[in-house]
Structure 1
């Protein structure tokens, strides 16, 4: 047998490589735009800036040091000058492709960064590999503007994997739906009437606010927002605001909420503070043709019927009173259970007559209409 030449023995001692193979190289020199690596082959490997990073402005000397080991994919065994062309980015992409395949087969939840918002959805990068999430699978609710996801890390599962056609589809919607169901079931397994919860204002309407309790929404009706009168929920709350609420009622999937906390009930000492015969002062809050509602304190309005304003005949309250005007009057009737108080300014006039204090003198039908209107408004 003929003896091998030194060059033949050297070639025999070095590993063989082929295009597409993943190898590990040790950095032997670094320039701002190029890296040279020893990959255990007869020729060194060369990696350009664009094959190392997607950032074409990066100075490689700031991110790579001599002696570092880098995983690379062989793009060419010979670039025409005897050097091996390597790509770190393609190695990461190949490895990521295997991870995507495994995640698809096992329905593993992945996390990736949104690198591009396009008309039809989102392009997400996972370790150098791209996944497309269609707009219809981004959220479990319709979202017209997806730009808020740019640069965000989001979770999803792979529902279609076809690398040959460069078609890898992700789905975030089913994860959100599953999470919400889990939160929903947990909430209803724990929630009880009388619970105090902190929620987030999700939506505002003229009749109330929908509060996200973390798994389901509850309705905070305008009449339950305060012990006082609320004209418009949008003047009291804003979307996204955190609010403390009390669970008033649970009826199947419907949750009724209130902010009328019992310990804040302004009527709890009403029998003492607003006993019949007490002279009080208050502010005219609103008026109708048959009377004026006077706010005695926050959450307590009293009715001053038109017949009780003056000893002189008054056609309608607005003839002698104004909204915001401070008045004094005597309490002539109190019904704590129904939250009703009747006032009389006429009873303060001298000489005082029994009929001035007699509630029977008040037009009962009109008072009933006024109270009905108050209930309707609330």
Structure 2
């Protein structure tokens, strides 16, 4: 080799960066693939960042983090990966800064953006500032969580509850953040609430005594008696979890944070215009819904029952209604009397039968018009 060439090689070597294993250096991205990032760190050979050293977030593609020409800091893992390349890590640089950030965030009692990457036993693994953190199932939501996998891929703000850098342990909470948010929402919502106002909400929980509806940060109770104008054995007969419903604010207590809601109050009262819908003398069909010693209650429509006295059930003498009727039976009844103010309708099965028989007889055997018969039987 000539002296000139040797001198040139020595100059090139002098201009090269002297790398040491374990140090952090700057470099320029020269190529990005699905599995690697190639970086020029000014050394005699290029550096390679393998996929498992790019980020703790295994769901992120290399191209989402860097592009050609970007200046990045990298950690030197090895000066020769076996093929003459320098083995680098971006993840370890991010981790160092990430732990620093998390410690400062915890000290300042601030919040940190977090992304869930995996559901595990007892909670989920999440990435915050490049650090793998744990969120216990009890800290994922302000409600019971039965499907941890539904959180995978979701991002939200959390609070740093515990951090131990030596043990690589960081515990986060989303529940604390939600509780604070709900506190502000409740204050704002209560300032706008008024009795009688209608508001939309989502059914969040169903119990034996009613349904809880989220009206924007507050779960108000629709008591079972306020779900429908009709009889309701269980709230699930009327609503299901996830339903969006319109409700009326019946009452609220700002100090206790309680709101009473009504669903049936958004629907027309069945006793409105009852005299027009069921005039005296008309014959209608209903369903037997209750049997008592003195008669049977027949439902004409949801929330509207009429009484058939035991004397109006059959032409023959019966000791109890169950001798002729059963729950759920469809029957024809004649309206005898209507008292809207008392919410009472008197019905008759025998009178309805007589009228039906009379109409059939006239139609078959008499020139008398059906209209005349109806008039006589009023």
TM-score normalised by structure 1 residue count? 0.75
Task: Return the offset for 1:202.
Answer: 2.1
Secondary structure of 1:47's aligned partner: strand
Q: Using a 3 Å threshold, how does the CA distance of structure 1 residues 65 and 298 change in structure 2: closer, same or farther?
A: closer
Residue 100 of structure 2, aligned match among 80, 98, 101: 98
Structure 2 CA distance for aligned equivalents of residues 34 and 107 of structure 1: 37
Match of 2:347 in 1: 343
- In the TM superposition, what are the counterparts of 1:65-84 in structure 2 within 5 Å? 67=69, 69-76=71-78, 84=86
1 CA distance for matches of 2:294 and 2:274? Answer: 25
Which residue does 2:287 correspond to in 1?
284
Q: Deviations over 1:74-123 (max 9, x none)?
A: 23467799864321222222232333233223233222222233334322
Q: How far 1:175 sits from its partner (Å)?
A: 0.8
1:348 offset after TM fit, Å? 6.5
Task: Give the distance between the partners of 2:352 and 2:151, measured in 1 at CA.
Answer: 67
Shift of residue 194 of structure 1?
0.8
* Counterpart in the other structure of 1:23: 25
Instruction: Tell me if 1:178 matches 2:194.
Output: no
Change (3 A) 1:19 1:266: same
Q: How far is 1:267 from its partner?
A: 1.6
Question: Which stretch shifts more, 195-204 or 77-86?
Answer: 77-86
**Unpaired stretches in structure 2, ≥5 consecutive residues:** 1-6, 356-378
Q: Which moved more, 1:282-291 or 1:70-79?
A: 70-79
Distance 1:266 1:81, change over 3 A: closer
Partner of 2:335: 330
Q: Which residue of 2 aligns with 1:299?
A: 303
CA RMSD of superposed structures (Å):
3.8
The aligned residue for residue 165 of structure 1 is: 167
How many angstroms does 1:341 deviate by?
A: 1.6
Partner of 2:272: 268
> Which piece of structure 1 moves more, 148-157 or 66-75?
66-75
Alignment match, 1:156: 158
Q: CA deviation at 1:142?
A: 4.9
Q: Tell me the secondary structure at the aligned position of residue 217 of structure 2.
A: coil
Quick one: distance in 2 between partners of 1:258 and 1:64? 55
Q: Distance in 2 between matches of 1:219 and 1:151?
A: 33
The alignment partner of 1:165 has SS state of: coil
1:191-206, aligned counterparts within 5 Å?
A: 191-206=193-208
Return the match for 1:187 from 163, 186, 189. Answer: 189
Q: Which moved more, 1:93-102 or 1:183-192?
A: 93-102
Verify the 8 A CA contact 1:201 1:242 in the aligned structure 2.
yes
Question: Alpha carbons of 1:112 and 1:32: their partners in 2 closer, same or farther (altered >3 Å)?
Answer: closer
* CA deviation profile, 1:333-357 (whole Å, cap 9, x unmatched): x332332222234566989xxxxxx
> SS of the counterpart of 1:185?
helix
Question: Does the C-alpha gap of structure 1 residues 116 and 302 become closer, same or farther in structure 2, counting only changes over 3 Å?
Answer: same
Q: What count of residue pairs does the alignment treat as equivalent?
A: 345
CA separation of 1:192 and 1:80: change in aligned 2, threshold 3 A: same
Look up the match of 1:369: none
Alpha-carbon distance between aligned partners in 1 of 2:208 and 2:75, rounded to the nearest angstrom: 62
For the structure 1 residues 20 and 338, does the alpha-carbon distance in structure 2 shift closer, same or farther, using more than 3 Å as the test?
farther
In the alignment, the residues of structure 1 paired with residue 25 and residue 268 of structure 2 have an alpha-carbon distance, to the nearest angstrom, of 72
What displacement does 1:269 show? 1.2
Q: Is the 8 A contact 1:35 1:47 kept in 2?
A: yes
Tell me whether 1:316 sits opposite 2:320 in the alignment. yes
Q: Please report the TM-score for the alignment, with normalisation by the length of structure 2.
A: 0.75
Partner Cα separation in structure 2 for residue 335 and residue 202 of structure 1:
39
DSSP 3-state at the match of 1:169: strand
